[in-house]
Amino acid sequence: MRLDDAARPPKARRVWLGLASVVALVAAYTLLSNAYRVVDPSLLPDPLRGLLRPQILPPTQRIVDAFVQLVGAGAPLAGGADLHPGDHIGGLVEQRVTLQGSLLVSTYRVLIGLAVGGSLGILAGLLMGWSRAVDEYVHPIYILFRSVPPLALITYVMLWLGHGTAHLLIPIIYAVFATVVIPTYHGVRDVADVYVKAARALGAGGRLLLSRVMLPAASPFVLAGLRYALVIAWMTTVGVEMLMGDDGVGYLLIGGGLWSSRLEVAGDPAVIVVGIVGLALVGYAMDVGVRVAGDRLTQWVKR
Amino acid sequence: MPEPRRRRLEMRDVVHVYEGKTATRALDGVSLDVHDNEFLAIVGPVGSGKTTLVRIVAGFLRPTSGVVLCDGAPVTGPGPERGYVFQEEAIFPWMSVRDNLGFGLLAKGVVASEREKIVAELVRLIGLEGYEGAYPKELSGGMSKMVEVARVLATDPAILLLDEPFGLLDAQTRSKMQDQLSLLWEEKRKTVILVTHDVEEAIYLADRVVVFTPRPGRIKVEVTVDLPRPRSLETRFSPAFLALKRSIWKEIGRA
Ligand SMILES: Nc1ncnc2c1ncn2[C@@H]1O[C@H](COP(=O)(O)OP(=O)(O)OP(=O)(O)O)[C@@H](O)[C@H]1O
Ligand SMILES: [Mg+2]
């Protein structure tokens, strides 16, 4: 309960306000993106001249078209439909890359990253926070490795394991792992101390201490870490897919193709916007999921 | 009736220096015996090393020099035979009252049915029926302190170390808790070390009161409290009680 709870508008009104602001945003964008039809952009002053072009701000109706095409791309092709396999959307449709399919694959990668990297990171954080010896040995190595951007690993992973879909998961797992360790560590070391002492005085040790005392004591911090790791996981996933993937949103954004020839396809802004909006929506939903689950798990926290 | 006085805890020349930016000499040669089933109270000014001594006895801190023996064996770490109630709040906020009370039993490997029985008994003892499923955040400060004391009692430790357990309570709850502790001690007969700032509380509960000097902590004086038990509100106003109070205050005042 927060003090300002009473001052907040009721829920129904909040939803309406939220919707209204989205509608306003879409309307404003539609006007702006269609402005080039009315005014010749080359007459405009400099930053506007560059921006108000359909190549940069695709008109809303083009985005909707791209959306419909990408959602329907899985269906068998209608014969004679005007398809240009050379351009961004044409290539995708030809390969039957759908928006929902791409989002699903990426979401799956993010979830695997969170599950595997999250558990390993929590475990490492717990051990480092628990044992001074582990902390002293592992911490410098951890700091050293943490500074390596996850995407920097991808070429090495490829050299090492070859080109495979499963290998894309390694940088994602690593990114989540590195993000979760530190909050867990601080939760255990800085917050749990008095509880750990109390538990030990009550005769607890080993697994009971770890699972029933340290982990719950650190859990508000772990959850904050996971929420942040979710963002990092998405960044890494899309990056990895752009560089090496054969599917996923990153692949969709970059227009498919073999990774060596990727940059030869000119990006279609409408596809990119569709992909970005899809990412934003899925990211939002997942954040709500983590937050709601987290609030349930930490009902006990005084707020 | 003088029982055979077995020494339960022996502290010999305990010195403790906290290393750090400014080395603090918290304890400066404390020697103290606590007998079996004795109720000992320690009073002393802020920062006189009371918590430090209790932490050493609990096994969380190693003395810089000197030894602490529990039943003749040197203390090397915390143990379930020495129940410790912290000065700061230490009940687990993520566990219900029930799970908090049962935690020591769980650690000991007591089976669930037996655990439930003991927990139900403790809940009754501290008068928290109906709050078994509540989280600590739903309890008042006094209630959670009671849970904390009861949690330590669950495993029936032979020795109780209580570091200002009632420090944060209002006068009324405080006196209620004191009565409960007094009853409990008479019923279960444990060895107790109680740290407190409250001279009256010390006299009311203890068999013996030890007064610490200001830092570095040393024992200034020991006062035996031979008031009859069970003690009650009347005890607090008896001439003997007041005389003890006067003499302890005199000792404290004489810096
Ligand atoms: N962890 C620590 N590190 C450094 N110095 C400490 C630490 N804990 C206590 N001290 C110092 O040791 C001295 C004794 O502290 P202690 O907590 O034992 O006092 P106390 O008698 O329990 O006081 P109070 O009545 O306020 O609880 C104090 O001067 C304090 O500053
Ligand atoms: Mg203290």
Across chain A, mean pLDDT equals 86
**A298 to chain B: nearest residue by CA?**
B94
Which residue of chain B comes nearest to A208, CA vs CA? B107
- Averages of pLDDT over runs of 10 residues in chain B (255 residues) are 74 94 91 95 92 94 95 91 89 95 94 95 88 92 86 91 86 84 85 93 95 91 91 91 92 70
pLDDT above 60 for A4: no
Residue of B25, B28, B43, B50 best suited for mutating to test ligand 1, as the one with most atoms within 8 Å of CB: B50
A22-50 pLDDT tens trace: 999 999 999 989 988 888 877 878 887 87
Here the contacts of A43-49 (C-beta below 8 Å, separation 24 or greater) are: none
pLDDT tier for residue A190 given thresholds of 50, 70 and 90: confident
| Residue from B30, B48, B252 to probe ligand 1 pocket by mutation (most atoms less than 8 Å from CB) | B48
Contact of B132 with B98, CB cutoff 8 Å: yes
Domains and CATH numbers, chain B: 1-79+195-255 (3.40.50.300)
pLDDT in tens, A82-134: 566 667 888 888 888 899 999 999 999 999 999 999 999 999 999 998 888 88
Q: Look at residue A278 in the predicted model and tell me its pLDDT.
A: 94
Task: Evaluate the omega torsion of the peptide bond into residue B216 and state whether it is cis, within 30 degrees of 0.
Answer: yes
CATH architecture of residue range(s) A99-302 = Orthogonal Bundle (1.10)
Confidence of residue A14 (pLDDT cuts 50, 70, 90): confident
CB-CB under 8 Å, A203 with B155:
yes
Q: Do B137 and A195 touch (CB under 8 A)?
A: no
Place of tokens 């090492």: A160
The pLDDT confidence band at residue A256, using thresholds 50, 70 and 90, is low
Residue A80 has what pLDDT? 46
**Ligand 1, atom 9: nearest CA belongs to which residue?**
B52
What's the whole-model pTM score? Answer: 0.78
The letter for the amino acid at A190 is D
Reported ipTM: the value is 0.84
Q: Whose CA is nearest to atom 30 of ligand 1?
A: B47
Looking at ligand 1, which residue's alpha carbon is closest to its atom 28? B47
Cα distance from B2 to chain A (closest Cα, Å)? 32
- The pair of structure tokens assigned to A124 is 């490492």
CA distances from A295 to A132, B5, B106 (A): 31, 54, 27
Chain B residues whose CB is inside 8 A of the A294 CB are none
Q: Decide if A204 and B151 are in contact by the 8 Å CB cutoff.
A: no
pLDDT, residue B37, reads 92
